[in-house]
């Protein structure tokens, strides 16, 4: 089954071609980061307009690179939510119109399901069940995954998401948007032991997180030390945030008896997180699976892949569409 995947939930337009027999054939991404950087964050209306400009050229590009034509498609997957309503509507409208014209089914995919299944786009995918640590700009969740659509929420952030904490801390340190990659580059040059920051909820005994207090602690430290110390502060922030993520993820594996841990979402690209997690997990008999680095952040490949799993089990689709800017992952149907 050949599936076109379209991601347009936030500030990147991603399109990909996934074949259930031959794997990922092509993928293309256009990032709007430079456009939004000027404003210090995503401007929803500009995002929607830019998705409109990019989505068809990217579709032509992946078809050409994959050596396929529109007539070869068996289905189209699009991100239905959560995300920015206007941005989601661009992908949903394009996908459903194209599916109608080609007389093939379209399926709306949950953005976080796309992230969570992205490590399965691999020659050596993890088997179910596994624990998933989802760390994106908007979400931080630990899930027990026993199959496609079989998700049990173990814990989540009570306030800021991990990526949001990286972004806000980066902003306090005078770095651009999105701050995660810039902060981690700066942290690599700093001394993580010089300042000590809190590890919020490290010993709370559950799988919930809280990152807003950590951001406030950084603000206090910046006021006291000044921006000359930014590299050491960035390093202190990164070790604190990563320690909590690693500790809770491995505790969730222990509690649920899972020996496989999947990490997905933008913060999964963080080198310090990967290093610590791989090291600590090995000591506890847990194997960690990551998506390819380019598939940690938003992309069309994960939507094409998740869509292919769902289309394989789907009945007919009526091609009416509604986007879901807010949507609980645990509410999905199992396939």
Return residues touching ligand KG4 (CB under 6 A).
115, 136-138, 163, 166-167, 178-181, 184, 265-267, 269-270, 297-298
The answer to whether 234 and 174 have CB atoms below 8 angstroms apart is: no
Which residue's CB is nearer to Zn ion, number 32 or number 229?
A: 32
Which residue's CB is nearer to ligand KG4, number 81 or number 178?
A: 178
The answer to whether 3 and 22 have CB atoms below 8 angstroms apart is: no
- Per CB under 5 A, 136 contacts Zn ion: yes
| Angle, CA of 237, 83 and 243, to the nearest 5° | 20
Helices (H), the chain: 33-37, 44-66, 85-102, 111-117, 162-172, 179-187, 212-225, 230-256, 271-283, 301-311
Q: Compute the least distance from the CB of residue 181 to ligand KG4, in Å.
A: 4
- Per CB under 5 A, 298 contacts Zn ion: yes
Q: Compute the least distance from the CB of residue 322 to Zn ion, in Å.
A: 20
> For the purposes of burial, counting CB atoms within 10 Å of the CB of 316, is it exposed (0-12), middle (13-18) or buried (19 or more)?
exposed
Q: Compute the least distance from the CB of residue 15 to ligand KG4, in Å.
A: 16
Q: Compute the least distance from the CB of residue 74 to ligand KG4, in Å.
A: 27
Which residue's CB is nearer to ligand KG4, number 155 or number 265?
A: 265
Q: How many other C-beta atoms can be found within 10 angstroms of the C-beta atom of residue 334?
A: 10
Closest chain position to ligand KG4 (CB): 266
Q: Compute the least distance from the CB of residue 265 to ligand KG4, in Å.
A: 4
Select the span of 30-38, 179-187, 268-276, 291-299 touching Zn ion (CB under 5 A).
Answer: 291-299
Comparing CA positions, the residue from 6, 10, 27 lying closest to residue 294 is 27
Give, as one character, the DSSP assignment of residue 296.
T
Greatest Cα pair distance, the chain, in angstroms, is 63
Which residue's CB is nearer to ligand KG4, number 73 or number 183?
A: 183
Which residue's CB is nearer to ligand KG4, number 176 or number 312?
A: 176
What does the binding site for Zn ion look like in residue numbers (CB under 5 A)? 136, 298
């Amino acid at each position: 089954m050949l599936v076109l995947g379209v991601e347009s939930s936030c500030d990147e337009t991603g399109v990909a071609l996934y074949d259930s027999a031959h794997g990922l054939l092509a993928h293309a991404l256009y990032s709007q980061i430079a456009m939004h950087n000027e404003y210090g964050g995503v401007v929803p209306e500009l995002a929607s307009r830019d998705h409109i400009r990019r989505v068809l050229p990217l579709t032509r590009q992946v078809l050409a690179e994959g050596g396929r034509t529109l007539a070869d498609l068996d289905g189209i997957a699009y991100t239905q939510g959560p995300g920015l309503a206007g941005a989601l509507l661009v992908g949903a409208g394009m996908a459903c119109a194209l599916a109608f014209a080609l007389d093939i089914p379209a399926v709306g995919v949950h953005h976080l399901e796309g992230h969570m299944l992205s490590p399965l786009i691999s020659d050596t995918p993890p088997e179910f069940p596994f624990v998933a640590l989802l760390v994106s700009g908007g979400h931080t969740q630990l899930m027990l995954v026993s199959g496609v659509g079989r998700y049990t929420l173990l814990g989540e952030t009570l306030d800021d998401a991990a990526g949001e904490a990286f972004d806000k801390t980066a902003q306090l340190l005078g770095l651009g948007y999105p701050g995660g990659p810039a902060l981690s580059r700066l942290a690599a040059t700093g001394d993580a032991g010089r300042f000590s920051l809190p590890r919020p909820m490290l010993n709370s005994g559950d799988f919930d997180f809280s990152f807003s207090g950590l951001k406030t602690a950084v603000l206090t430290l910046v006021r006291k030390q000044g921006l000359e110390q930014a590299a050491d502060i960035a390093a202190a922030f990164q070790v604190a945030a990563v320690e909590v993520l690693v500790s809770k993820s491995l505790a969730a594996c222990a509690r649920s008896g899972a020996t496989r841990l999947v990490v997905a979402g933008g913060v999964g690209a963080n080198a310090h997180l990967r290093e610590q997690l791989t090291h600590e997990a090995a000591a506890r008999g847990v194997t960690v699976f990551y998506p390819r680095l380019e598939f940690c952040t938003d992309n069309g490949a994960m939507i094409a892949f998740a869509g292919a799993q769902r289309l394989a089990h789907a009945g007919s689709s009526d091609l009416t569409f509604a986007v879901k800017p807010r949507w609980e992952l645990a509410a999905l149907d199992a396939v």
